């Protein structure tokens, strides 16, 4: 069986590492998918099939979970993933202006990746930090109490 290489990581190695860490149990499906997603940058079809096989979980369920959570992706993403919270509390607190500024600055629509592979822009429902709305998460960095005028300076931190 050919072993595909993505982002310098082998798909099978990434799946094995996630199963070693979390155990081949369907209850661990989300952490397993999350670890493989982090290792490869996304969840390629080969990884999903392998996980389905090893957990004895139908591929449709594995795909369903992989498609449901915004932190997981079945398509390649940019080097930096910008997650914008589109839930009501953030929206009411000025999220709309932040969203428009983000879209214009990145020249992307939801779920798009820039042609240079630098950015992917996604929306998510409540990111769990409503006390500091509106909220944007870039990779693992959380930006709360955001205003549109802070966006250019924040984006400039990423290369």
Touching ligand FES, residues 16-45 (CB under 6 A): none
Q: Which is nearer to ligand FES, 118 or 150 (CB)?
A: 150
CB of 126 to ligand FES, least distance (A): 3
Separation CA 126–CA 74 (nearest Å): 21
- Which tokens go with 91? 């929206």
When asked if residue 142 is in the footprint of ligand FES (CB under 6 A), the reply is no
Contacting ligand FES (CB under 6 A), which of 135, 136, 146, 151? Answer: 135
CB of 71 to ligand FES, least distance (A): 14
When asked if residue 99 is in the footprint of ligand FES (CB under 6 A), the reply is no
101 — phi, psi (to 5°)?
A: -65, -40
Site string for ligand FES, 115-134 (x = CB under 6 A): -----------xx-xx--x-
Separation CA 136–CA 129 (nearest Å): 10
């Amino acid at each position: 069986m050919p072993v595909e290489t993505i982002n310098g990581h082998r798909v099978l190695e990434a799946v094995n590492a996630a199963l070693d860490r979390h155990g081949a149990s369907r209850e661990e499906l989300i952490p397993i998918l999350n670890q493989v997603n982090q290792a490869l940058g996304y969840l390629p079809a080969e990884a999903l099939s392998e996980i389905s096989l090893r957990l004895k979980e139908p591929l449709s369920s594995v795909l369903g979970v992989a498609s449901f959570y915004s932190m997981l992706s079945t398509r390649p993403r940019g080097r930096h993933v910008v997650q914008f919270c589109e839930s009501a509390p953030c929206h009411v607190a000025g999220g709309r202006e932040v969203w428009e500024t983000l879209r214009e600055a990145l020249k992307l629509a939801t779920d798009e990746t820039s042609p240079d592979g630098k950015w992917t822009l996604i929306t998510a429902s409540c990111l769990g930090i409503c006390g500091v709305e509106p909220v944007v998460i870039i990779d693992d960095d959380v930006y709360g109490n955001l205003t549109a005028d802070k966006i250019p300076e924040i984006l400039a931190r990423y290369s």
